[in-house]
Structures are given as C-alpha cells and as structure tokens.
Structure 1
Amino acid sequence: MQFTLFRRRVLALLATVLTVGVVSSLAQAEPLTTVRIGVATAGGGNPISWGGSPGSVARLNGWLEEEFKPDGVKVEWLFFKGAGPAVNEALSNKQIDFAYHGDLPSVVGRANGLKTRILLISGARNNLYVVTPPDSDIKSIEDLKGKRVSIFRGTNGHLVANNLLNAHGLQERDIKGINLDTGSAQAALASKGVDAAFGGPEFFKLRDEGLVRIAYSTQGQDPSFTRQAHLHVRDEFANEHPEAVQRVVDVFVRAADWASDEKNRDALFKLWARSGTPYESYVAEFANQQLAVRNSPLIDDFAIGRYKAVVRDALKLKLIRRDVSVDDWFDPSYLQKSLKKLGLEHRWTRFDVKGQPEPQAQAQGQAQTVASGSGG
C-alpha cells in the first residue's frame, strides 16, 4: 500500500513537471510581434534618430522595418534622454529587447545583474572634447582645476573624462563637477552657467555659431581616450528568438558596411544630419579618420580590452561595487554568421589591445597594396 501511494505521488510529480514544461514551451513558441530597440540618447529629427553610428543608418533607411515587415513584425525604436542609465532601467524592466549602449553604462548594468550579450560594436573610438565659452581662459585640461565643469555622469563619456583628468594630474574632485545631460550642458555653456563641459560632436554646432570654443580634443590621440558603443540583447530574448537576433545583426552589419565605404562619406554625414546635428559637425568629428575604423562592427582585441579597462576604472572610481566578467559577455557568433553570409569576412581590420592593426591585418594590407601596384 505504501509503495502504491509512493508511486502515485511520483506520477503526480511527473505530470506536474510535464505540464509546466509544455506551458513553458508554448510560451516560448509564441510568435514574435515586436522588436524593441532602445537607444541611449534623446535623438532628434523626424523620425527621431541619432548620428555617428552605423546603427542609425539602419534606423534612417528603415532597413530593419523592411526586414521584418513580411512577417508582420513591428520594429519600435525608443530613445532615452537619460542616456545609458535610463536604458539600463528599460532593460531591467524588459521594456526593450535590444539596446544601442555605451561601454560604461552597460558595464554598470552588468554589475547590477542585467543579463545581456554584446552582439557587435556599433560606433568605435568616439572622441571626447572639452568645450568652453569663447572668451574663456581655459586652454588645457590642467586649467579645469577648481572650475565648474559639466560631466554627464554614468555615460561612456564620464569615464574618459576621468581618465583625461588623471592623465593631466587631476581627479574629478579637483573640479566642481556638475551632472548635466547633453541639452542642459549646451544651455549652461551658452549662458555661462558652467565654465566648461565634456561632450561629443554635438558641441561643434555651438562652436560654428560662435557660442563655444573647443579647448581640448582626443582626436588623433591615444585610442584609450575614446568611447565605445555596441548593440546588445537581453539573454531571455536571445534564447526565445535566436532567428530574430540573427536578422537584426545582419541588418546592423549591412549598415556598418555601407557606413564604412569612403565613397559614402558625404552621403553618410548628410544622412546623420537628419538627426538634428549638422553635417559640418560630422565632418569635424571624423576629420582625418577612416570610416572603416570608426564604423567597424568587429569584436576584436581592442574592443574587448577597452571594456576590461572600463571595468577596472569603474571599480577604481567606485562606479560599480563588484567585478564583472567581460570575455563571456561578448557573443560574436551572430556577427560571424553575418560576415560569412554577406561576404564581409575580410572587410574590416582587426586591432590589438593597444588599438594598432594586428600583424596579420598589416600583412594583408601590405599584400593588397603590392598587388594593386603591380597591376599598373
């Protein structure tokens, strides 16, 4: 009798497990209806977009919408004035599936338990500038000591700003740091509410209007003083919809290819200008820089090294409370499939941890140069 009772309980437990498994499978099998992409900027223009990234090429050309339209899947782009920290919150609340994100805020999100995987780089080596009113006596990083300086804390520019201060003998506590978003920083500079601001190419517009002056630029300097951005996806979404993830990556790689072609430089900047940042600003931001270097989607040693450095620096500055792993955060499998599918396996140069072309890539480039020269 006891054996019979035990058997009934075992059978009841198995039935419960099977039922839960079936319900779970049915839930995962539900068709995809919407792909939601969060972007860590307020954006601008109509439709709202942003510039300076291959991802915005896909957005402005409607390539993702074209990709999913035959299946009746809607693509939603959500823009966040609160930048990286706001995107982290949206990921945590499962309000978005993918995110265009900067290195520091995404590291902070990972340290706080967000489970995502980085699919590709989408905007590498972004420059940082120190901007002042035109009549300011600030000429260098050292001159920022004791000054009121706008820093958009928690964004990928925050850490580079700290590194620049450190490289010039200062720390953030040596300045009167004021946390302002991009729009507020521009207004504060114009009204002289701050003495200087760290920012990106959005300040070139004010410079060209005579309202500010660029006092310092990371352009052409050590690539460790640049900011990186990427596309990543929630683990849960990737597990449930791997095919959709592959299709999104395919489109982003296609956009990176187009944005890396020097023949498209003028058209690219005009396209990005639709976001509200003038064409001339992108001309200045990308001056003397190869599009294929800035717009490469590759997850190479330089990219991985920069994210490891961000983790170290964030720990040092107590922006995160625990170490986070990086190597298992990157998932290049989708990117590799896209490169092979699109015939782009040798499209971009891979860089080492210091930001220099890998020896093999240099050899290939030299071989191509010799080959093209011998055909004359």
Structure 2
Amino acid sequence: MGAHRPVSASRWDAWLRQCGLALALAICASGGIGLARAEPEAVRIATTAFTENGKPAIGGVAYRVQQEGWLAAQLQQRGVRLEWLPVTGDTGATMNEAFAAKRIDFAAYGDLPSVILNAGGVRTHVVVPMGRGADVFLLVAPGSSARSIRDLKGKRISVHRGRPWELGLRHLIEDSGLSVNDFTLVNMDIKPGAAALATGRVDALFVLSGDALEERGAGRIIWSSKGKPERKMRAELWGRRDFTRENLALAQLVATAWLRAQYWASQEDNRDAFILDGTRNGTPERVVRRAYDDPQVKWKDRFSPLYDGLVYRHYREVLAFARQQKLVRRELTVNELLEPRFVDAGLRELGLTNFWTQEKQP
C-alpha cells in the first residue's frame, strides 16, 4: 500500500466538520481513511414495551426517538437500518439474554439487571443516563391500619427479587432503622403481587407505578420515593461495549438521538404532549400527571442526561447491593459501567452543554 498523502490543516478541519468528531475517531482508530471498518447492516435497540391495539409498542423517550425519525434517517444515509425490539414481561432477563447473544446493540432498561449482566462477563455500559429516575412505592391493602413500614414488622411484603426496585425496598428498610430479617419478603412480579395483596396473601407490596394501583383501589400508598432523589429507581440507555467501541459513529448517532428526545421532553411547552404519550398504554391522564408530580424534581431535570454525582452515587450503591446480596461474584467499579464520552460529544454538538444543571460528584 502506498504512503498516504499529507492532509492540510484546513482540509482536516473541514473533514471533521463534515463527518463529525465521532466518525473521525472511528476512522482514525481503524488506521486511517482507507482502512475504515465496514459498518453493520443494522442498529438494534431494545426497550420496554406495552400492548397497543394488539401489538407491542414503546413509550417514553424511546417513543419520541422513534416518532421524530431523525435517528432512522441518519442511519439510512449510511446504509444502516434501525431496528426496534419492544420487550414485554421480564424485561431485565430478556434484554440480558439478547445482549449476551449479541442480538441487540442498545437497550433502555434498569440498573440492577445490567449490573448482573456485566458481572457475568457480558460487558455493556451506560451510553445516556435517562433523567432523575422512576419512583417506587410501598402499598398496603386499602383497609389496612398500617401507616409506615414500621407497622409491617413481622409481616409479608411482596417484591420482585432481582428487579431494579428491590434496592429501593432495602433502602427503605435501612432508612427506617429496621432489618430485612424483620419481614418476610415474598418474590412476586407486580401483577401477581397486586393480586396477592388483594386476597390477603401478603400484607404489603413494593412496586413501580404505585399511583396507578392506588387509583384503581388495588392498594393504599404509605411510602414513595417522591421528594427523595437518592431513593428512586434508575433506567438508562445501555450499549454493548464491543459494538460502541467498534462503531463509534453509530453509537454517537444513537446517543445524540436520545439527547434530542430528552431535550424535547424537557421543554415546558412539550409537557402535555409527553404526558399524553404516557396514556397510550391505557393509563388515565390524571394518573400520568400524578406520577410526574414531585416538587423536588423540576420538569427539565426529569430528563437530565448528565453523569453527575447522583448517577455515580446510585451506581456505587447498586454495585454494593449486588455484592451484598451475592447476586454477582465479579467485582466491578462504577467507572466500568459509565461511559460519558457520547453524552459529552452530543451535548456539544447540540449546543446544550449548559442546559442541564450538573450536580457535583463527591
């Protein structure tokens, strides 16, 4: 192979502007313009789903990415398809299996299953943090006399073990000066747990979407993580590490698409539209609005993609919890799970570097 001709500074700058920093890095990493790695035929993104008109459908930020069409168009220009994989049921296990089999490249799902996957040797990392977290709830039967978790000492609490919200229950127990041994934890998913609460087979239920259950009369909330940013459950956009490292330009497009969608959702003018999107799964609008009612979290910050102190603290706690519960054998560090490069580059590209407020990392 002949020697490369020198590239002038002006031509280099123009090329960077045209192709973008991420593409330039991908080409340089492969050894030069003439040795660029062939891109895959498709980018495959999994996300939690529900049934709409008899078919799986996605919601939240992922739905905005899908509806906007920017990512699909950008990939199409490169000859790459965008494939969505809606996942219902046990999303954590399903997405972990798909990552392990390399059937997906990205997934929007919760923290604890992702930690378990990485500790098992399938390496992924957070590509974009997705806001300030989702609320978790402790409910009792409507006729129960319990007013706090202390009133449930010696009782049965339903919680789906190994799912992201289990850590929230552990936090609540510890924050209340109690021990897990003070309760009988019954391993059930949300629907069976709600049924068990209704029939008296358990005394309390720890879940997501507690507002909807209370609205239906299926339980009464006696505690929630609203107003407690450190006690919320987190879900992020995760990427398969070998894919993102070998396809920097494509990974950057996916991250930028998520940032565009989170920026759109964070606009006060788009609040109603985003909330109405949340009713597509059959949840009444008043319940969706109630779910987002937390005076401690500004609407804009609900969609913050920043790798700030809150995110780092959360993942340190998740790692510690997974080790304590012997859910993992391999020691991981928080820096192995968090990859800020794509958010940093995307925010610069979109002119949003100072849009969200950075919380200091301790």
TM-score (norm 1): 0.79
1:243 deviates by 1.6
Determine if the alignment matches structure 1 residue 37 to structure 2 residue 45: yes
- d(CA) in 2 for partners of 1:64 and 1:78? 17
Determine if the alignment matches structure 1 residue 212 to structure 2 residue 219: yes
1:237 deviates by 1.3
Matches within 5 A, 1:191-340: 191-201=199-209, 203-221=210-228, 223-287=229-293, 288=295, 289-340=297-348
Secondary structure at the residue paired with 2:278?
Answer: helix
- d(CA) in 1 for partners of 2:105 and 2:200? 40
Q: Which amino acid aligns with 2:278?
A: W
- d(CA) in 2 for partners of 1:142 and 1:314? 25
Query: Which segments of 5 or more consecutive residues in structure 2 lack a partner in the other structure?
Result: 1-35
The count of aligned residue pairs is 323
- d(CA) in 2 for partners of 1:206 and 1:60? 29
Aligned residues of 2:132 and 2:304 also touching (Cα < 8 A): yes
- d(CA) in 1 for partners of 2:68 and 2:281? 13
- d(CA) in 2 for partners of 1:69 and 1:280? 39
Q: Which position in structure 1 is the counterpart of 2:13?
A: none
Q: Which amino acid aligns with 1:226?
A: K
Q: Which position in structure 1 is the counterpart of 2:99?
A: 91
Secondary structure at the residue paired with 1:117?
Answer: strand
Q: Which position in structure 1 is the counterpart of 2:187?
A: 179
Secondary structure at the residue paired with 1:351?
Answer: coil
Q: Which position in structure 2 is the counterpart of 1:364?
A: none
- Higher mean Cα deviation, 254-263 or 320-329? 320-329
Determine if the alignment matches structure 1 residue 347 to structure 2 residue 355: yes
1:259 deviates by 1.1
Secondary structure at the residue paired with 1:131?
Answer: strand
Query: Which segments of 5 or more consecutive residues in structure 1 lack a partner in the other structure?
Result: 1-27, 355-376
Distance 1:320 1:30, change over 3 A: same
- d(CA) in 2 for partners of 1:164 and 1:60? 38
1:94 deviates by 1.3
Q: CA RMSD in A?
A: 2.3
Secondary structure at the residue paired with 1:142?
Answer: helix
- d(CA) in 2 for partners of 1:205 and 1:60? 26
- Higher mean Cα deviation, 323-332 or 149-158? 323-332
- d(CA) in 2 for partners of 1:217 and 1:300? 23
Q: Which amino acid aligns with 2:174?
A: N
Distance 1:78 1:95, change over 3 A: farther
Q: Which amino acid aligns with 2:279?
A: A
